[in-house]
Amino acid sequence: MAKVYGVAIRKGGQGKSTTVAMVGRLCALYGARVLVVDLAQPGTTTASLRDLWAPVEHDLLSNLLLAFRAFPAGIAPTPEQARAAFTAAALPVRLPTQPSWSGGSIAVLPWDDALGDTAAFLHSERLLAGLIEGLADEIDLALIDFPAEGGPLLANALAATQRVIMPLMPETPALEGVDALLRQMAAARAQGQDITLGGILLTRCEPKNKRMYDVVQTIRQVEEVEGVPVSGKLFPFAIRNNEFFEQAFRYGEPIWERTSNPAHWAGYVLLAEWLLRDAGLGNLSHQRRGPALLTSDTRILDITALLMNDPELPLGDFERAHLLVGEH
């Protein structure tokens, strides 16, 4: 069964949509069949994939959900009901594959402007989980871009997610968003939901900014929040701040179309490989190609080396330091 990952934090501007789009593209490049679920207003993840978008007719995700508005709390569509609804709606949208994907693919349940209003008519928090399960034979993993606001869409995202990846700008105010999401995860676990924190990814980092070190130290000192383990969940790699992500999103294309320096997206390559291994697709994580084909001297921002004069290490040194040698 496909593993479902939520990319979430209860604060805007942390890099959720960038993370979903980048990891989705990279996992497909490695050969995985990826489902992207865009629940985050205003649909930035959907827009960021428009260079791949197929000119096909399809219904709205909001209408697909409304087809199950009579389902009471706790009830999910059966796989048969889900597949019938997908067929009727011509969803998910399947993006044209590229030769370099070697069998990988991206399918999207896209954001639409009616999703927010639709949520008010939904009674069951299990609709999205049932819909994703209906695609189990067609996907290897799912990525959900969580909504920033609460309500039925967030409840459905939480109920469908098994593992959370939390992007975080290294600024003290953003830690409030971490705490809020961890408490919601704890509430979901208390209701029997098997949801865990996969990791915290630092984004938009300035390597020599002292606040980055302070945030890292703060997170490391937190053992857990209401039963959700936190200490040790920081990924050792981080995403450096640069203007190329914004440019890529503006034009709906990957960052490697805006710059040839892989150091700008190398952290996402490492995240995609972690996710593939975590999802039981470790055989695919060895298949670096195209923009994922990093060289041993590609610079990696290492959060364990923040006190060094230059915390950006060559990939070869980073892999040796974190016992990743021999994985590729």
- Determine the angle formed by the axes of helices 16-29 and 266-278, rounding to 10 degrees: 70
CA distance 300 to 320: 12
**Token duo for residue 151:** 């309500």
In this prediction, residue 310 carries a pLDDT of: 83
**Token duo for residue 238:** 């981080």
Flag whether 25 is in a domain. yes
In this prediction, residue 223 carries a pLDDT of: 84
Query: What phi, psi does 277 have (nearest 5°)?
Result: -65, -45
In this prediction, residue 66 carries a pLDDT of: 96
Question: Cα torsion at 249, 238, 23, 175 (round to 10°)?
Answer: -80
Other beta carbons within 10 angstroms of residue 274's beta carbon come to: 19
**Token duo for residue 216:** 């890292």
The parent domain of residue 187 ranges over 3-321
Sign for the pseudo-dihedral over CA of 206, 207, 212, 214: negative
Beta sheet of 3-7, edge-to-edge order? 93-94, 105-109, 33-38, 141-145, 3-7, 163-168, 196-202
**How many domains, in total, are found in the chain?**
1
Residuewise pLDDT in 10s, the chain (328 residues): 789 999 998 877 788 999 999 999 999 999 999 999 999 988 899 999 999 988 889 999 999 999 999 999 999 999 999 999 999 999 999 999 888 888 999 999 999 999 989 989 999 999 999 999 999 999 999 999 999 888 899 999 999 999 999 999 988 888 888 888 999 999 999 988 999 999 999 999 987 777 888 888 888 888 888 888 888 899 999 999 989 998 998 889 999 999 999 999 999 999 999 999 999 999 999 889 999 999 999 999 999 888 777 899 999 999 998 875 445 4
DSSP 8-state class, residue 138: T
In this prediction, residue 229 carries a pLDDT of: 82
Flag whether 29 is in a domain. yes
Flag whether 328 is in a domain. no
Q: What burial letters (b/e) apply to 165-189, b meaning 16+ CB within 10 Å?
A: bbbbbbbeebbebbeebbebbeebb
In this prediction, residue 326 carries a pLDDT of: 47
Output the furthest CA–CA distance in the chain (Å, rounded): 60
In this prediction, residue 74 carries a pLDDT of: 95
In this prediction, residue 327 carries a pLDDT of: 53
CA distance 66 to 70: 8
Flag whether 193 is in a domain. yes
| Pure H helices in 138-199 | 152-160, 175-190
Do residues 234 and 193 touch, judged by C-beta distance below 8 A? no
In this prediction, residue 307 carries a pLDDT of: 73
Flag whether 170 is in a domain. yes
Nearby residues of 106 by Cβ (< 8 Å), 6 or more positions away:
24, 25, 28, 34, 35, 36, 49, 52, 94, 95
β-sheet bridge partners, residue 65: none
Helix (H, G, I), strand (E, B) or coil at 190: helix
- Determine the angle formed by the axes of helices 175-190 and 210-220, rounding to 10 degrees: 20
Flag whether 326 is in a domain. no
Give the CATH number for residue 91.
3.40.50.300
- Determine the angle formed by the axes of helices 152-160 and 175-190, rounding to 10 degrees: 70
